[in-house]
Amino acid sequence: MTSTSAPPATRLSPATIRGYALGSVGTGGFSTLPGLVLAYYLTDTLGVAAAVATFVVFAPKALDVVLNPAIGALSDSWARRTGSRQLFLRVGAALLPVFFALTFAVPDGVDATIGAVWVGLAFVASAMAFSLFQVPYIAMPAELTDDYHERARLMAWRVAVLGVAILLFGAGGPQLRELGGGGRWGYLVMGVVAGAVLGLGMFAASRIAPRRPPSEVTAGGEASFAASLRVVRSSRPFRMLVTASALQAFATGTMLASAQYAATYVLGNEDSVSFLFAALVGPAVAVMPLWSRLVRSWGKRRAYLLASSLFLAAGVALLGLLAGTGGWVYGVVAVAGVGYAGMQMLGMSMLPDVISDHERREGGAVRAGAFSGVWTAVETIGLALGPALVLAILAITGFVSSTDDAEVAQSQTAIDGIVVAISAAPAILTALSIVALYRYRLEAETAHAQNGSH
């Protein structure tokens, strides 16, 4: 790659590491909290039938399949003309808090049908605002450094903050709901406070967006939706990596969406969802330095396979909930957390390697936005499929929806369906992702894994 398309391989400054990591407050929070509570909000507060809630949760996210690659192409074009993607980042950071709060602001007295439409429209607007930030945010590492290990270091800090964000929103979101009095008012309080925190994290990341004179940015490549999609066909390593990422997003989205149902109907305590999240995220943050060391000794691909295998094993072990509950559940979830942290860090640190490899082969053309647009579209649809799959399993197994004034006893079949959703479904999806990872090959990965640390 020419020097005009990437900075020299220098050590990233603490301010850059810190600023980029803070963006995970926004990406982690928006990916976690709706996946955890939105389906539950629809079925158990607004009284929306599980089948209808499936459509409401999934359909808005499906728009990202078209929207994100288009935003990626536009951000590439903007970066060539202005030297920075910062405008996209800041517009997304400003709009998301507003639409996120509106998603959980369905007024009292509104029936289930109108409530479902309200949530669907507000969630579409939220997803659009989030995409304006997320696509250029994911493109930034390839432009911040071209060093294999610095990218791993950048992602280690990002995922550490991501873990804190997941804990903050996963455990704190339901607590905010209860502090707000539960029911519709509780969700509104949660939406307003959580939305503000999302926006602050996203704005912090926008401040460290690379800035270069337009003349220093290599022109080249068509900035269009079709050109973004051609990225998938032109890079086999990208296809394998994005397939693994999508399947793992599907798996984690399924586990997240089923956690609240498992806490309420399997563990018998709605509030235990906060403890499940603490068990998932606490170990994940603590072991991040171990994943960084494994990258230096094993390389990213081998470490990624280990992380995925741990998450798979935990999913299989959670099938034990069919026999009974106990403290062992939190230990198994902690193992899943260790694997999840590695999966997040390693996949995201391999993406800029793939981008650099492609840009080098294409003569230095600016294509990071095209890659990140397709990546985030596929990842978003994977996360959205998680709640949709959970709701489909609930519908098939006879789960009965309710409003916040009525409690419904569930059949044993419905409870078993919840167990399958939190265990077998994520395990199968993760196993498929491992197959894709085995087919991933990149020259830079092999070279750096052999050379070890610089």
pLDDT tens per residue, range 376-385: 888 878 877 8
| pLDDT of residue 3 exceeding 70 | no
Query: What does the DSSP 8-state code read for residue 181?
Result: T
The answer on pLDDT for 225 being more than 90 is: no
State mean pLDDT over 145-170.
Answer: 84
Sequence-distant (6+) residues with CB within 8 A of 231 are: 238, 358, 367, 370, 371, 374
Distance of alpha carbon 411 from the chain centroid: 32
14, amino acid identity: P
How many residues are recorded in the chain?
Answer: 454
Rounded-to-integer distance, Cα 23 and Cα 206, Å: 8
State the Cα–Cα distance between residues 366 and 357, nearest whole angstrom: 12
408 Cβ contact partners less than 8 Å away, ≥ 6 residues apart: 400, 401, 402
Within 10 Å of residue 41's Cβ, how many Cβ atoms? 27
Mean pLDDT of 270-294: 80
3-state DSSP assignment of residue 48: coil
Note whether 168 and 346 are within 8 A (CB).
Answer: no
Q: What is the spatial distance between Cα 68 and Cα 118, in angstroms, rounded to a whole number?
A: 23
Q: Who's near 87: CB < 8 A, 6+ residues apart?
A: 78
Identify the CA nearest to 242 among candidates 354, 331, 132, 360. 354
8 pLDDT above the threshold of 60: no
> Who wins on pLDDT, 198 or 236?
198
Q: What is the pTM of this model?
A: 0.77
In whole numbers, what is the pLDDT of the chain averaged over residues?
A: 84
What the chain holds in terms of domains, given with CATH numbers, is: 15-205+233-451 (1.20.1250.20)
Between CA 106 and CA 108 the distance in angstroms is 7
pLDDT higher for 2 or 47?
47
- Nearest residue to 16 via CA among 114, 112, 151, 197: 151
**Residue 53 or residue 60, greater confidence:** 53
Instruction: Return the number of other C-beta atoms located less than 10 Å from residue 113's C-beta.
Output: 12
Q: Which of the pair, 360 or 333, is modelled with greater confidence?
A: 333
| Statement: residue 215 has pLDDT above 50 | no
Centre a 10 Å sphere on the Cβ of residue 110 and count the other Cβ atoms it contains: 14
Phi, psi of 46 (to 5 degrees): -90, -10
Least confident range from 13-17, 79-83, 134-138: namely 79-83
Lowest-pLDDT range, 212-216, 255-259, 286-290, 389-393?
212-216
**How do residues 141-151 score in pLDDT, each as one tens digit?**
888 888 888 88
User: Residue 37: what pLDDT?
Assistant: 86
Check pLDDT > 60 for residue 224: no
Q: At what angle do helices 86-103 and 112-144 cross, to 10 degrees?
A: 160
Is residue 166 within 8 A of residue 28, CB to CB? The reply is yes
Number of neighbours of residue 309 by Cβ within 10 angstroms: 15
| pLDDT on residue 406 | 60
The most confident of 172-181, 388-397, 440-449, by mean pLDDT: 388-397
Q: What is the largest CA-CA distance in the chain?
A: 66
